[in-house]
Amino acid sequence: MTGRFFRSSKESVVKFLLDNWMLIAVAIGSAVALFLPVLQKRGGGLSAALAVQMINREKAVVIDVCEPAEYAAGHVAGARNIPLGRLEQQLEGAVKNKATPVILVCQVGARAARAASMAQKLGYTNAQALSGGLRAWREAQLPVEKA
C-alpha cells in the first residue's frame, strides 16, 4: 500500500506540473524579476547612503569622471572633476595617498564602474563606484552643486 501511495503521488505531481506548466513558468519569471535588481546591485558599487558615510567618517574623496560640461551642469557637492579619459594621468595628482577611500561618480554609474576598475589597477585599494551615479544621488535628495 505504501508503494502504491508514492506511485500515485508521483504521478499526481507530474500531472500537476504538466497541467500547470504556464502557471509555473509565470511564478519562476516573477521570482527572477523580483530578485534581479538585488543580484545586479551586489557588484554595482556603493549606495548613496554608504557613500555619504564614507565621506563623513573616512574622509573619502569624490571624483566625478564626467566630461566638464556634464560636471558643470551638476555634480556631487565637493566632487573634483577628472574626466574618464584623463583619469590615469590625473588621479595621482588629485589623491596622493592610495589608501584614501575614493568614490567615483558619473551620470548613471557605467563610467564610474570603469573608473573604479582603472583606479584599482593604479593601486587605489579603496576605490569604488557610486551605484546609479548622480541620478541615484539626486533620488536620495543629497546635495548637488553646479559650476
**What domain range includes position 34?**
2-42
- pLDDT at position 13 is 83
Q: Which three cell numbers stand for residue 9?
A: 503521488
The rounded distance, in Å, linking the Cα atoms of 104 and 28 is 36
Q: Are residues 67 and 132 in the same domain?
A: yes
**Dihedral sign from CA coordinates of 60, 87, 64, 44:** negative
User: Is 94's pLDDT higher than 70?
Assistant: yes
Q: How far, in Å, CA of 130 to CA of 128, rounded? A: 7
Tens-place pLDDT, residues 42-80:
445 899 999 999 999 999 999 999 999 999 999 999 999
Same domain assignment for residues 54 and 37: no
CATH of the domain at 88: 3.40.250.10
Q: Is the pTM of this model over 0.75?
A: no
Q: Count the domains in the chain.
A: 2
Distance CA(81)–CA(33), nearest Å, equals: 36
**Are 70 and 15 within one domain?**
no
Residue 15 CA to residue 18 CA, distance in Å, equals 5
93 and 112 in a single domain? The answer is: yes
Condensed to tens digits (0 to 9), the pLDDT of residues 111-136 reads 999 999 999 999 999 999 999 999 99
